[in-house]
Amino acid sequence: MTGVTFLTGSGGLPKLEITTAWSTAEIYLHGAHVTYFQKRGEPPLLFLSDQSRFESGVPIRGGIPIIFPWFGKPADKPGQHGFVRNRSWTLKEIKTTDDGIVTTRLILPPDPELRADDITVEYEVAFSDGLSAEFIVTNKSAQAYAFENCLHTYFAIGDIHSLRVVGLQGVTYLDALDGHQRKTETAEAIRFAGEVDRAYVNTPHRVEIHDTARQRVIRVEKTGSASTVVWNPWIAKAKAMADFGNEEYQRMVCVESGNVAKNQITLAPGGIASLKVKLSSEATA
């Protein structure tokens, strides 16, 4: 039955379970974190680690972490990937349209790190046969506000060895495994035979994940995003992460949509920045 149910999730954290005619999904208030999405007749779309922690103050490993207001670990910032993925968000609204699409809107409570009420942050996710997420930052202050953002999506895949990520040929990327050097993607499709950690810049285009093992294609369409980050930790990094299984790198890939590095956003006073990502999938056989 279509609707939203309030439940206690892992670690006692509150979550919403969303059911539509086409899909089921879950979103935790901790981090406004979508941890689960499954279209009927298909395997789950999002990867969630069996080793993930579910505790206040630490991020969930998998699903869609929201990265804001910085990406990575700049020398002048405390910690990695900002802090909103570790905050407890508030449910603002649930809407169900006549055609059965369910939308949840969450808001980040006023945060001293964000000049209290001057910067507001909201997250709206629409669930149907796919998932559309919009991350909205509003600058109500009298000064410009600079930030990075990213919807750091972990996709569930059949086998990383036969996976192809398509749509980034010719794009410049910063290679995090080689001192963030600028390189150009020459391949028609990215394939994986080791760790990959790349921030593709100045690319508003859609990306496709061709999952041969599961005979499925996943589409990542976006607006308000100039960067795409592609990440797989591979063997050594998987082993080094306490909240990630040693073999799980074979069943996931991160294709992240946002605005990072030189693509950071500077929002004028009164400005609104919207980052929208639409995820859809289709069987290929």
Binding site for ligand BG6 (CB under 6 A): 59, 80-81, 152, 176, 197, 229, 231, 256
Report residue 34 as tokens.
């979508």
SS3 195: coil
Q: How far is the CB of 171 from ligand BG6 (least distance, A)?
A: 16
Q: How far is the CB of 72 from ligand BG6 (least distance, A)?
A: 6
Report residue 48 as tokens.
């969630």
- Check if 256 is active-site: yes
- Closer residue to ligand BG6, CB minimum distance, 79 or 269: 79
Which of these is catalytic: 148, 152, 185, 248? 152
Rg from Cα positions in the chain = 18
- Closer residue to ligand BG6, CB minimum distance, 26 or 256: 256
Decide: 33 and 66 in contact? Cβ < 8 Å.
yes
Q: How far is the CB of 177 from ligand BG6 (least distance, A)?
A: 9
Of 163, 280, 279, 249, nearest in space to 213 by CA = 163
Cβ-proximal residue to ligand BG6, closest one: 80
- Closer residue to ligand BG6, CB minimum distance, 40 or 73: 73
Q: C-alpha distances in angstroms, 114 versus 82, 137, 145, 166?
A: 11, 11, 10, 36
Which of these is catalytic: 134, 148, 248, 256? 256
Count the alpha carbons within 13 Å of 27 in the hemisphere toward its beta carbon: 29
Report residue 176 as tokens.
């995090």
Q: How far is the CB of 39 from ligand BG6 (least distance, A)?
A: 25
- Check if 161 is active-site: no
- For tokens 């036969």, name the residue: 162
- Closer residue to ligand BG6, CB minimum distance, 127 or 249: 249
Q: How far is the CB of 136 from ligand BG6 (least distance, A)?
A: 21
- Closer residue to ligand BG6, CB minimum distance, 87 or 152: 152
| Amino acid in position 100 | G
Q: Where are the alpha helices (DSSP H) in 192-260?
A: 234-240
| Amino acid in position 31 | G
Catalytic residues: 152, 256
